[in-house]
Amino acid sequence: MNIGFIGLGNMGLPMAKNLAAAGHRVTGFDVVPAAREAATEAGIAIAAGNSEAATDADVVITMLPNGAIAKAVASEVLPAMSKGALLIDCSTVDVNSAREIDALASEQGVLCLDAPVSGGVGGAEAGTLTFMVGGSGGAFAKGAPFFDIMGKKAVHCGEGGAGQAAKICNNMLLGISMIGACEAFALAKKLGLSQERLFDVISTSSGSCWSVNTYCPVPGVGPKSPADNDYRPGFAAALMLKDLGLSQQAADAADAPTPLGRHAADLYSAMNDAGMGGDDFSAMIRFLGTMERKS
């Protein structure tokens, strides 16, 4: 099929490459020249602009930085798309932006899915992403073959915007649990407890969680993680801050109390302000080491 792919950065390019490797005709675009050059070197055809990438496409996939850009690109590409074609926005944006894009697509007779991902750059390269998907059942059925190529799992969460809601809730929990894991290991070190032994306990007991079992924030403990690569992301702390900000925006709009989510956002904001936003979010354990205990 003809696929337009807009947003060829660290996540988008490997996703586009996997689609091309599966035999689809992929035409991409990115506003960043270096991204276009990297895509060309990877064998992806480059269009002259967003609307050109969408022209004659059966499916257009976007992977963009925020809701404002996602809406602007959708407004540009939807008129160039054929009726019955499918727009899949894999960006992580606020729920209202996702719903607005869904409404714009409906006005143009285009099917639409909001499908943010979990799995990071490694998952994009390996084709093992998890997609949290919002949209109609018909749109999801049409998008399923592409999710199968780019990922290992796609969950249909509900109507338009539901995918973004699921992503925001998931990443709020992830941010909270990573801070808890970092605090536990930091305390263990202060108490003279072997961090390897603590991992053995937590990973097989009531404290078990992904932030420990799979993504341990301590070097040399558990499966290989960014901690073993000097906390190079991975998933950057600045991106975690973005997602936590989206969670708090949604919580305010829904009048939902999320005190731990708010505190997690404050801590990642302080970490970012300290110049550590480019580190992996598990480097929170390093940031905690710079803080003084308050009684």
Just list the catalytic residues.
167
Contact call for residues 78 and 105 (beta carbons, < 8 A): yes
Contact call for residues 13 and 42 (beta carbons, < 8 A): yes
For residue 183, give every residue at least 6 positions away whose Cβ sits within 8 Å of its Cβ, in sequence order, or none.
288
Q: Which of 132, 152, 126 is nearest to 89 (CA)?
A: 132
DSSP-derived letter for residue 217 is S
Show the tokens assigned to 58: 């059966």
Side chain identity, residue 138: G
Q: Which of 245, 272, 214, 233 is nearest to 10 (CA)?
A: 233
Q: Which of 129, 65, 130, 77 is nearest to 101 (CA)?
A: 77
